[in-house]
Structure 1
Amino acid sequence: MNLKQSLKRLLGSAYLNSFGRARLSEAGVVLMLHRVLADSAAASLPHRAPLCVGQSQFEQLLQWLRRHFHCVPLQQLLEFPGADRPRLALTFDDGWRDNAELAYPLLERYEVPASIFLSTDFIGSHQGFWWEAIGETLWQQADSPGAKPLREQLQALDLAPPEALLRRGVDPARSRALGAYLQRLKTLAPQTLQTLADSCPATAAPHALDWAQVQRLERSGLVRFGPHGASHGILTGLDGSALRADLQRSHQALQEHCQAPLGVYCYPNGDHSPQVRAAVAELGYRFALGTQPGLIEAEGNSLLALPRIDVSQANAARPGLLAWRLLQGARA
């Protein structure tokens, strides 16, 4: 850990253990996670670390959260942000299968409730989310015959991967280059991204939860589910009819498959606009989550643009860094 991280960790811990407790008791914290991986080394690679947490670091995070916060269900926190003790709600985006297989057993062990937001078109899919499908194809088998259709399509889009990505090897520099390359792809149209993902070799097991897993987790009473868009496309890039169709499709899927779906929408990629918020409100949602950092205030937040604090591998491994993120969120 470098000097800058050490300083942030020190300041964050000091904040949480002093005047920060009073500030956090007046508000609430919503944490944003995505995936929990069994292999901590794999989770630590630069192209994965912002969205992945190793299972051992996730357990360490839960232990730390229970010491410092009262962990409550998301909807309860949004309805009543303030309390005598700092309160926190845990959320997972996308609906990864490892949410059930690796994260849930630890949530159950430590009795921490969580909310999972599903990209409903992908439930049970073997192709899964474009970021993972494209990223892992380039990371693990970029030079293989199976990856040739992906390479050809990227070439046709004038987005041929850099040569450094086509060489195999667990190299942090290569991983950073892959992360930067995937960021470039985010500007492509949702259908283009899905076409690229569909050209990737199919995985042996689905990336996403299936509905049977969703229903089993919901029956536990510890996990609730809400919509994260249907196609996982950037909603601000859709016109009025396509926007409403995407929102309606994800809303309807939750209504059909869940006993008590959350009254909370979670924007894919965090992107929203007045038009998106109005369309979400038309479906009856009182609350919606973005990705801007901040705290849940009793007053002052837009209920359809609520902030969260993201959790990466780095700040799960060193929760003092997460406390630093809370300090920054309190200042937002």
Structure 2
Amino acid sequence: MPIKTSIKRASGWLYLNSPLGRRQLRGSGVILMLHRVLANDRAADLPHRNELCVGPKAFEHLLVWLKKHFDCVPLMDILHPGTQHSERPRVTLTFDDGWRDNAVNAFPLLQKYQVPASIFLSTDFIGSRQRFWWESLGETLWGSHGEQPRMHLIECLQQVGRPLPVLMDDVDVDRRSLTLLHYLQSLKTLAPDDLSRLTDECPEESLPQALDWQQVRALEASGLVRFGPHGASHAILTGLDDQRLNEELSRSRDALLNGCNRPLPVYCYPNGDHDARVRQQVADHAFPYALGTGTGIYRGASDPLALPRFGVSQRTARNPELLSWRIYRGAQP
């Protein structure tokens, strides 16, 4: 392990277990951001999956660590703290998008350790065979569906002016995966219609990628999971005109009102992107809170429509002391 990483891990552990750390975190909340829990850890280790995916062993390791150092509470307990304050810092888990593996792989572990969570749904995908472009394009380019679909997609990407980097042919698996990660990030600037057409050129998987409404209601009935909106089509809200922004917010809000018994009064910005116009529209749609992707501790004084979160990757879940280091940095005034 690199010496810099060892120092961060040790410093994070000392912070959580020091009087200074406990004092700084008392009365505040840590909101974690996850996306997927895959069926195995080896798949989650690759760089193009690492940031959005964790494996079941790493996720369980994270939950055990969180239970040891934090009070694991529902999101609304952090946003609306009660009169009783534990001496331990509080943490809550949020999942973006609404992946089917949240129910299949994550929920059994949440249930085992009795850790509550909030899942934010891209509602157009729920109960449909509509696919997330990142997953479909990434796995097709990785070759998960065979060489012929991969070459076909490469041709389609060339037609929209996005040729594949040369390093995608690197024999080193990790370097090739890292190149794919950076390439997928660059595709975020494509128009939503282009991304949708490219996704349609990918092979159809045998199962839907997203949860269905029956799964949503079953998870909600457990008492451990609540749901909120993460856009309808997962379009980047800052890139929409006023009419489309209103439609996106209304459609996702109404889907949650129809599909859940107790939807959260919290919006979650797709890709974390927001500006003053988007925040005002979110507030006008009766959401007093919204989650971004900025890093920090929630103390109740920051903008409730730009709540900070700490992202959790496979690397972080394997080494949660690195998370405590980031919490230490985020807790500084």
Instruction: State the TM-score, normalizing by the size of structure 2.
Output: 0.95
Q: CA deviation at 1:325?
A: 1.2
Equivalent residue for 1:57?
58
- Structure 1 vs Structure 2 CA RMSD: 1.7
Distance 1:122 1:3 in 2: 43
Matched residue count: 330
Q: Give per-residue Cα distances to partners, 1:18-38, cap 9 Å, x unaligned.
A: 121221113111000001112
Is 1:35 aligned to residue 36 of structure 2? yes
Q: CA deviation at 1:141?
A: 4.5
Is 1:282 aligned to residue 284 of structure 2? yes
Distance 2:74 2:23 in 1: 21
Where does the alignment leave 5 or more consecutive residues of structure 1 unmatched?
A: none
Distance 1:26 1:259 in 2: 29
Equivalent residue for 2:296?
294
Distance 1:79 1:71 in 2: 15
Equivalent residue for 1:206?
208
Equivalent residue for 2:10?
10
Distance 2:145 2:208 in 1: 20
Q: CA deviation at 1:237?
A: 0.5
Residue 10 of structure 1 aligns to a residue whose secondary structure is helix
Residues 239 and 66 from structure 1, CA distance in 2 versus in 1: closer, same or farther, beyond 3 angstroms? Answer: same
Where does the alignment leave 5 or more consecutive residues of structure 2 unmatched?
A: none
Q: CA deviation at 1:165?
A: 2.5
Equivalent residue for 1:261?
263
Equivalent residue for 1:233?
235
Q: Give per-residue Cα distances to partners, 1:179-207, cap 9 Å, x unaligned.
A: 01001101111222122112111111111
Q: CA deviation at 1:149?
A: 4.2
Residue number among 122, 141, 155 corresponding to 2:158 in the alignment: 155
Distance 2:148 2:317 in 1: 37
Q: Spell out the pairing of 1:16-31 with structure 2 (5 A cutoff).
A: 16-18=16-18, 19-31=20-32
Q: CA deviation at 1:151?
A: 2.1
Q: CA deviation at 1:127?
A: 4.5
Instruction: State the TM-score, normalizing by the size of structure 1.
Output: 0.95
Equivalent residue for 2:192?
190
Q: CA deviation at 1:227?
A: 0.1
Equivalent residue for 2:78?
77
**Does the Cα contact within 8 Å between 1:296 and 1:306 map onto a contact in 2?**
yes
Is 1:217 aligned to residue 224 of structure 2? no
Distance 2:143 2:331 in 1: 40
Residue 331 of structure 2 aligns to a residue whose secondary structure is helix
What is the identity percentage for the equivalent residue pairs of Structure 1 and Structure 2? 55
Is 1:145 aligned to residue 112 of structure 2? no
Output the amino acid matched with 1:103: A
